[in-house]
Chain A
Amino acid sequence: MQRYLNLYGAFLGQQFKSYAEYRANFIIGASSTIMMQAANLLTVWVVMQQIPDFNGWGFSELLLIYGLITLSKSINHMFADNLWTVGRVYIRSGQFDRFLVRPIDPLFHLIADRFCYDGVGNFLVGVVLLGAALAGLDLAWTPLVPLYILLAVLSGGGIFIALNLITCVTSFWIMDSVPVTRAIFDNHLFAQYPLTIYPKAVTTLLTWLIPYGFASFYPASYLLGHDVGVYAWAGPVVAAVLLFAGYRFWQFGLRHYSGTGS
Chain B
Amino acid sequence: MPAIEVENLRKVFYISKKDPGLAGAVKALFRPRFDEKVAVDGISLRVEPGEMVGYIGVNGAGKSTTIKMLTGVLVPTGGTVRVLGRDPHRDRVANARDVGVVFGQRSQMWWDLALVESLNLIAKIYEIPAARYRELLDEFAATLELNELLSVPIRNMSLGQKMRAELAATLIHEPKVVYLDEPTIGLDLIVKERIRDFIKEQNRTRGTTVILTTHDLGDIEELCQRVIIIDAGHIIFDGPISTIKDRFGKYREITFEVAAGAARLELPAGADVIAAEPRTLALRFDRTQTTASQVAAAVMSQVDVRDFSLAEPDLSAIVKQIYNGALQEEAAA
Report if A259-B96 is in contact (Cβ < 8 Å); known contacts: A14-B110, A95-B106, A104-B125.
no
Size of A's binding interface in residues, CB under 8 A: 29
What are 22 A-B residue pairs whose CB atoms fall within 8 Å in the complex? Answer: A6-B124, A11-B121, A14-B110, A14-B118, A14-B120, A17-B113, A17-B114, A95-B106, A97-B73, A97-B106, A98-B101, A98-B103, A100-B72, A100-B92, A101-B72, A101-B101, A103-B127, A105-B93, A255-B89, A257-B74, A258-B74, A262-B104
Name the CB-closest residue of A to B39: A258
* Chain A residues closer than 8 Å to B101, beta-carbon distance: 98, 101
Whole-angstrom CA separation of A98 from B106 in the bound complex = 9
Chief secondary structure at chain A's binding surface: loop
Size of B's binding interface in residues, CB under 8 A: 33
Query: What is the CB-to-nearest-CB distance from B124 to chain A, in angstroms, rounded to a whole number?
Result: 5
* Chain A residues closer than 8 Å to B96, beta-carbon distance: 101-103
Tell me if B75 is interfacial: C-beta within 8 Å of chain A.
Answer: yes
Whole-angstrom CA separation of A98 from B122 in the bound complex = 12
The 6 residue pairs across chains A and B that have the minimum distance between CB atoms: A18-B112, A103-B96, A98-B108, A100-B73, A103-B97, A103-B93
* Chain A residues closer than 8 Å to B89, beta-carbon distance: 255
Binding site for A on B (CB under 8 A): 13, 64, 68, 71-75, 89, 92-94, 96-97, 99, 101, 103-104, 106, 108, 110, 112-114, 117-118, 120-121, 124-127, 153
Residues 76-120 of chain A, each 1 if its beta carbon lies under 8 Å from chain B, else 0: 000000000000000001110110111111100000000000000
Name the CB-closest residue of B to A9: B124
Count A/B pairs, Cβ under 8 Å. Answer: 74
In this complex, the member of A3, A18, A21, A259 whose beta carbon has the largest number of chain B beta carbons within 10 angstroms is A18
Tell me if A7 is interfacial: C-beta within 8 Å of chain B.
Answer: yes
Report if A7-B125 is in contact (Cβ < 8 Å); known contacts: A18-B112, A103-B96, A262-B104.
yes
- Contact of A97 with B103 in the complex, beta carbons under 8 Å: yes
Query: What is the CB-to-nearest-CB distance from A243 to chain B, in angstroms, rounded to a whole number?
Result: 20
* Chain A residues closer than 8 Å to B124, beta-carbon distance: 6-7, 10
Residues 1-22 of chain A, each 1 if its beta carbon lies under 8 Å from chain B, else 0: 0010011001100100110011
Whole-angstrom CA separation of A105 from B93 in the bound complex = 7
Query: What is the CB-to-nearest-CB distance from B209 to chain A, in angstroms, rounded to a whole number?
Result: 15
* Chain B residues closer than 8 Å to A21, beta-carbon distance: 112, 153
Whole-angstrom CA separation of A93 from B104 in the bound complex = 13
* Chain B residues closer than 8 Å to A106, beta-carbon distance: 92
Report if A101-B113 is in contact (Cβ < 8 Å); known contacts: A93-B106, A262-B64, A262-B104.
no
Query: What is the CB-to-nearest-CB distance from B134 to chain A, in angstroms, rounded to a whole number?
Result: 17
Q: A95-B106, A105-B93, A257-B75 are in contact. List 20 more A-B contacts (CB 8 A).
A: A3-B127, A10-B120, A10-B121, A14-B110, A14-B118, A17-B117, A18-B110, A18-B153, A94-B106, A98-B101, A101-B71, A101-B73, A101-B96, A103-B97, A103-B126, A256-B75, A258-B13, A258-B74, A261-B64, A262-B104
Query: What is the CB-to-nearest-CB distance from B92 to chain A, in angstroms, rounded to a whole number?
Result: 7
Whole-angstrom CA separation of A6 from B120 in the bound complex = 13
Name the CB-closest residue of A to B11: A258
- Contact of A259 with B73 in the complex, beta carbons under 8 Å: yes
Name the CB-closest residue of B to A174: B16
* Chain B residues closer than 8 Å to A6, beta-carbon distance: 124
